[in-house]
Amino acid sequence: MYVYLMRRLFTMLVSLLAISGLIFLIIQLPPGDFVTAYVTELESQGEMVSPEKIAFLRQQYGLDKSPLEQYADWIVGILQGDFGYSFEYNLPVTEVVGDRVLLSIVVNAATILFIYAVSFPLGVYAATHQYTLSDYGLSFLGFLGLATPNFLLALVLLYLANRWFGTSIGGLMDPQYLNRPWSVDKVLSVLEHLWVPVVVIGTAGTAGMIRRLRANLLDELNQAYVVTAKAKGMAPRRLLVKYPLRMALNPFIADIGNLLPQVVSGAVIVSAVMSLPTTGPVLLSALQSQDVYLAGSFLLLLAVLTVVGMFVSDLLLAALDPRIRLVSGGRR
Amino acid sequence: MSDPDRLDHYVSTDPFAPQDDQVLTPAQERLYAASQWTMMWWRFRRHRLAVVSGIVLLLMYAGILVAEFLAPYDLHSRNVDFIHAPPQQVRLFHEGRFVGPFVYGLDYRLDMTNLKREYTPDPDKVQPIRFFCRGDRYRMWGLIPGDLHLICAADGGTLFLLGTDRLGRDMLSRLIHGARVSLTVGLLGIAISFLLGITLGGISGYFGGWVDNLIQRIIEIMRSLPELPLWMALSAAVPINWDPVAVYFCITVILGLLDWPGLARAVRSKLLALKEEDYCAAAEMMGATPARVIGHHLLPNFMSHLIASLTLSIPTMILGETALSFLGLGLRPPVTSWGVLLSEAQNIEAVVLYPWLMTPVFAVIVTVLAFNFLGDGLRDAADPYHQR
């Protein structure tokens, strides 16, 4: 177990390093840099910008260095807790990011919990009631959930939430808590608003999860050992819980590796539509205005969130299933 | 005289044919002589939903070939008098009398209290729909000029079956034109991902060793990254001032660029098992190049599986394009795709006041569902020797 842990930790660090390089590369892709965009904006407002000032700005932001040096600066800074400087907000990135990362984690974690909580009973039900009306109904709902773009679901649910429950449109908390420090009321307000994005982001994942759990469980239910236990006269419920369900649960948990990137992806677009105070909207605007360090930091944080989440799930799986450790690497 | 205590001796009069059970019925003979692809087709045919989905998709793709002809209006034709007009209902009977398909003309009134445009159908204006008629001029695929449409409005009338948008453009026409982009983005993207997946997966599985290790690590990293933010970052890098066609190709490349790892994995695992087979060694000894061994001897073994899994990943791309365009990072007007259309229904206001702006979402749902069902059917059919 210890060896497995160390090896897994090492691969995680290596992939994080590779990811940071990849992200830096992508961020640098657009022609020009923030200063070019800034200068164009100033000139469109009729201001003259002298070449000296441009050079000064470049130097100040460290944009005159080679890409490699910029990358090194960025990474070293991050290791020291300095994520760079947001040109657009004129603030250090850490201050812009602030609560947003925390709220992102809250939303994503709540979504994962939601997906498991909903898909588990439904998946088991669909598998034990194969080819009944409710099984077909669930399959149909599942397909529909997979096919609906979640940003539109977000719009419609927002409208309904406001109409039926009077929850204020958009955001993750009532407006009066926006710039307040965290308190019990604020947490309650967040919880009250959380369900809409969680449901919206979780739909596609839940639909997929139900289908996979159903398929896994059906495979197990047709095994000879189930027939034997049935023939022995074991009570159906006890039989289900004691053997096939346990077997079917493994891939269910291992699937978090597919689920997590999907949820993080969904959260970005849904929060942009619903203007949640999470990372999504800021990432979008940072990408559009070439705010390199801000966008890069957000991308990196999202990636770290996923990679660490997968690391944790791999450890959980290894703890649950001793066979996993024999296979190097883990997933699948 | 026979003995009453003894039973009669039974003699069968049937001709003696001990090989009888080995003679094949015509049905069996057909089955044994059938090629793999024929058997797949038989298996596929049994999956009703998949067949129906396949037909729906075929019709849709046939439709985008002649989008200009199917759409009642041109993509850009504006009706300034009818901004945000609601869908017009097709009727058959006017005052109890059959007149064939027609719509009631719209009366326009500006509500001065909330400045809302209000349209009411006017039962006096009966506007029969014309078929195979002359309408807006167009250039089919930008080349062949024409003005023939499947349906158009009555002379001087309007025909907005799905309402109009904020510039008074017919939503149905825009939906049909938008299908051309939305439906092909997935195909082109999948082609790129297919190429990358087979090449990299093939190299990885066939050669093994450090190449395999490297590619596997890359795949692991790419699979652990959230797709959409990366798509967003990449498409934000596409310069705004580029030609729309170039932007379109960039988006397809971006969509395809992140999709190949799953496919590469499947190819690799199959290759790892298959390359140990004797026929593979035989081909190598006869001097076949790796590319030929992979492409000619190994790939056909699991091509059907690949096609099935490709069908299942097209919907992801269609949804991806929709999401990107919706966020304003993908395709931008004047290019019209379903995502671009949906980006107009971005706020609550549209949902409440002009719900018909959201109709493209149904097109998206139908397409994605159809691809999913088709893919399911193909996957079941992909292995016809597997008895269920």
Interface residue B327 vs chain A (CB under 8 A): yes
Is B264 in the same domain as B347? yes
Entry pTM: 0.80
Lowest pLDDT segment from A136-140, B56-60, B120-124: B120-124
Say yes or no for a CB contact (<8 Å) between B364 and A266. Answer: no
Closest-CA residue to A152 (of B314, B229, B351)? B351
Q: Which 228-247 residues of chain B touch chain A by CB within 8 A? A: 228-230, 232-234, 236-237, 239
**Residue B13 in domain:** no
Is B196 in the same domain as B316? yes
Strand (E) or helix (H) holding A57: helix A51-61
Alpha-carbon distance values, A37 to A88, B234, B365 (Å): 11, 18, 38
The residues with which B151 forms a beta bridge, in sequence order, are: B131
| Interface with A, mutate which of B52, B223, B224 (most A CBs under 10 A) | B224
CA distance A278 to B209: 43
Interface residue A29 vs chain B (CB under 8 A): yes
**Residue B50 in domain:** no
pLDDT digits (tens, 9 = 90+) for B1-33: 556 777 778 888 888 877 777 777 887 787 777
Which regions of chain B does DSSP assign to beta strands (E)?
91-94, 97-111, 116-128, 130-140, 144-152
Cβ neighbors of B52 (< 8 A, separation 6 or more) are B373
Residue whose structure tokens are 């919990």: A113
Kindly list the residues from chain A whose CB atom is less than 8 angstroms away from the CB atom of residue B369: 143-144, 147
For chain A, report the end-to-end CA distance as a whole number of angstroms.
18
Q: Which 46-75 residues of chain A touch chain B by CB within 8 A? A: none
Structural domains counted in chain B: 2
Q: Do β-strands A91-92 and B91-94 pair in parallel, antiparallel, or remain unpaired?
A: unpaired
Closest-CA residue of chain A to B254? A26
Kindly list the residues from chain A whose CB atom is less than 8 angstroms away from the CB atom of residue B364: 147-149
Is B257 in the same domain as B119? no
Is B272 in the same domain as B310? yes
Of B159, B190, B205, the residue that ends a domain is B159
Of B136, B159, B182, the residue that ends a domain is B159
Is B203 in the same domain as B300? yes
Residue A29 pLDDT > 50, yes or no? yes
CATH number for position B240: 1.10.3720.10
pLDDT digits (tens, 9 = 90+) for B256-291: 888 888 888 888 888 887 888 888 889 989 988 888
- A-B CB pairs within 8 A amount to 124
Domain ranges of chain A: 15-82, 97-330
Is B283 in the same domain as B154? no
Q: Judge residue B148's burial from the number of C-beta atoms within 10 Å of its C-beta, 0-12 exposed, 13-18 middle, 19 or more buried.
A: middle
Say yes or no for a CB contact (<8 Å) between B348 and A287. Answer: no
Does domain A97-330 sit in CATH 3.40.50.300?
no
Is B238 in the same domain as B99? no
Interface residue B34 vs chain A (CB under 8 A): no
Q: Is B111 helix (H, G, I), strand (E, B) or coil?
A: strand
DSSP state of B165: -
Q: Is the ipTM of this complex over 0.85?
A: no
Is B325 in the same domain as B351? yes
pLDDT digits (tens, 9 = 90+) for B57-70: 999 999 888 888 88
Q: Is B335 helix (H, G, I), strand (E, B) or coil?
A: coil
Range of the domain at B95: 88-159
pLDDT digits (tens, 9 = 90+) for B95-112: 777 877 887 777 777 777
From the list A147, A156, A283, the residue facing B368 with the nearest CB is A147
Say yes or no for a CB contact (<8 Å) between B233 and A266. Answer: no
Contact B354, B6 (CB under 8 A): no
CA distance B169 to B341: 11
Q: Output the CA torsion sign for B302, B304, B305, B311.
A: positive
Interface residue B356 vs chain A (CB under 8 A): no
Closest-CA residue of chain A to B342? A152
Q: Which 196-225 residues of chain B touch chain A by CB within 8 A? A: 217, 220-221, 223-225
CA distance B36 to A131: 29
Is B144 in the same domain as B263? no
Is B179 in the same domain as B242? yes
Cβ neighbors of A5 (< 8 A, separation 6 or more) are A315
